[in-house]
Structure 1
Amino acid sequence: MPEVKAYSPTRRTLLTGFAASVLLPNVAAAASPPAAPIPPAPAASSTAEAHPEPIQMSGDYAHERRKFRTDLLNKGPAPDNYEPLVAPPEAEQILYKAGYGGELELVAWVSRYDRKTRSRPAVLFLHGGNAIGQGHWPLMKPYIDAGYVVMIPSLRGENGQKGNFSGFYDEVFDVLAASDRLRHLPGVDPQRMFIAGHSIGGTLAMLAAMSTKRFRAAAPISGVPDAFAFFDRYPQDIRFDDRNPREFQMRSAICYAHSFKCPLKLMYGAAETHAPPRLALLAKRARAAGVDVEVAELPGNHFSAIPAEIEQSIQFFKSVAA
């Protein structure tokens, strides 16, 4: 079990500070929750070359989740630095209950909208990194302008909240709990609820889309379907028993690609050269099971591609719900 290392700027790039300054010039970059992007693989090898293909498991992922409990050997908060949980002016801060028995009360931000109007479509967006910050919210403006109700949930152990960080497993329970809160908000059409996410949020969006039929479509952005490769790059984030391969398999969408329960659009930036092999394998396995999957490479890197990726997700959601 590797020692859990403290946060360091060399390990994580600041999503909000960087993305806001580069992509959203009118947004102050002072708020800077860390993110966990996957940097390009070293020139000598690629992630796909360094690791064998994870096996394709039998059984439905949602069913397997009901039988599996992660074994956390190191319990504690999410690894990223964070800012106070204060909603941006354009959002409303609400609470939702999560955990096995609803013992966790976590914060989510929801766009302001007229709740008395006709039902609106909604997007559950999962932020990058392991903390939520003010700078994540401006990225949601295209969804809001397109008429969607938007929720960004914080997850267990983030921003000083209760709960133990598990790295792509128990956090999926939080995502599902947040989606339940979203679909019951006044004015939200539960038949037109979508999920998207960036980086770590993209990975969680994949796992959530395999866990429920609640979402009309999913648009993971720069997500990582292979937990073996992810935790090889970030061993300091391992809190579970890494001697058990099931712990990695239950965090790897690529092992259960046949379990997606809605159409899927996988996106990544052209500079993310590590991404294509594993995403292509994920799509191949999913399509073999009859899942509607698109894979799109957009100009840019882990951050600069985000605006185009969000716009693509909007068009994708509209096409699915047409």
Structure 2
Amino acid sequence: MPEVKAYRPTRRMLLGGFAASLLLPKITSAAPVTAAAAVPAVASAADAHPDPIQLTGDYAHERRKFRTDLLNKGPAPDTFEPLVAPPQADQIFYKTGYGGELELVAWVSRYDRKTKSRPAVLFLHGGNAIGQGHWLLMKPYIDAGYVVMIPSMRGENGQKGNFSGFYDEVFDVLAASDRLRHLPGVDPHRMFIAGHSIGGTLAMLAAMSTKRFRAAAPISGDPDAFAFFDRYPQDIRFNDKNPHEFEMRSAVCYAHSFKCPIKLMHGTGETHFVTRLGLVAKRARAAGVNIDVAMLPGNHFSALPAEIEQSIQFFKSVAA
């Protein structure tokens, strides 16, 4: 096994000290450091794009034409817990991949499937592994009457598939949403998406890829892949010499493509998001997108409970 370096814990620790009490997985290991990850090219790419360009194509259409060029194929980088469904959740499977060749785990809240149809939330977890602590964070959604699904992604928790960093994982999100909307008792017209950190970034990209969601609430997601991978070059598995690889992972480059109302949230301690999320909102509004940016007291971790509550209120305002 190649020698690895430890990730910086600040962002890699999904929910930090707040989540430790919620039994989140300990994220301490690292992916192999490759030539692609060493990279003055990443830093220069980020430096060359102080304001990432705004591309004209529709993101969903561009995804149909683009295939990421993975130079380093392997599992997601984080250590993980065994895939055991939390209490009050069922473990189901969904198929994803270009030909449906991958079968991945998702957790779904238990609910009465014989009553009238209910709204649903697809929540995308932080980090690159799913853990029991993520499920504990879902209680407010469940208490508010939503069916909740948290999907795992390719290469996570010992599952098959190659980690790509914000690209092929979007296929997984869309496949999981299709599984969710076909569950008995789920109202496919009241399906929402939310996510935190890495999950927040994926929620943005998914909301640009389909009209399936009534609204989206990305939390502490990074809309700029140039900046993200400049901070975390060890996560790069794709051809970093091609700027379009970064652009296809950057919501800020396709902000006009959001296909539902969207509320972007982050904590007051996350000042690095202010400029980029503001740019996303400016570009989206110019295209007629219903978008709002909210900054709540706290940091990447401590603001999360209030942000989840804000997402619930937002979803109710869009469709009760």
TM-score normalised by L of structure 1: 0.90
The offset of 1:32, in angstroms, is 1.9
The offset of 1:200, in angstroms, is 0.2
Give deviations 1:108-152, integer Å, cap 9, x for gaps: 000010111100000000000000000100100000000000000
User: Counterparts of 1:157-236 in structure 2 under 5 Å?
Assistant: 157-236=155-234
Counterpart residue number, 1:82: 80
Contact 1:35/1:131 (CA < 8 Å) preserved in 2?
no
Cα distance between partner residues in 2 of 1:282 and 1:257: 6
Provide structure 1 residue ranges, at least 5 long, that are not aligned to the other structure.
37-47
Q: Secondary structure at the match of 1:15?
A: coil
Cα distance between partner residues in 1 of 2:222 and 2:4: 21
Contact 1:33/1:131 (CA < 8 Å) preserved in 2?
no
Counterpart residue number, 1:57: 55
Q: 1:34 aligns with which of 3, 27, 32?
A: 27
Q: 1:35 to 1:128 in 2, by over 3 A?
A: farther
The offset of 1:15, in angstroms, is 2.9
The offset of 1:17, in angstroms, is 6.4
Q: 2:120 aligns with which of 94, 119, 122?
A: 122
Contact 1:197/1:221 (CA < 8 Å) preserved in 2?
yes
Contact 1:115/1:187 (CA < 8 Å) preserved in 2?
yes
Provide structure 2 residue ranges, at least 5 long, that are not aligned to the other structure.
30-45
**Identical columns (%):** 81
Aligned residues: 303
Q: 2:295 aligns with which of 286, 294, 297?
A: 297
TM-score normalised by L of structure 2: 0.91
Contact 1:108/1:152 (CA < 8 Å) preserved in 2?
yes
- Which residue identity lines up with residue 270 of structure 2 in the other structure? E
Cα distance between partner residues in 2 of 1:235 and 1:8: 10
Counterpart residue number, 2:309: 311
Cα distance between partner residues in 1 of 2:52 and 2:152: 29
- Which residue identity lines up with residue 245 of structure 1 in the other structure? P
Cα distance between partner residues in 1 of 2:109 and 2:305: 18
Cα distance between partner residues in 1 of 2:4 and 2:202: 22
Cα distance between partner residues in 2 of 1:157 and 1:62: 23
The offset of 1:90, in angstroms, is 1.4
Counterpart residue number, 2:104: 106
The offset of 1:49, in angstroms, is 8.8
User: Counterparts of 1:258-297 in structure 2 under 5 Å?
Assistant: 258-297=256-295
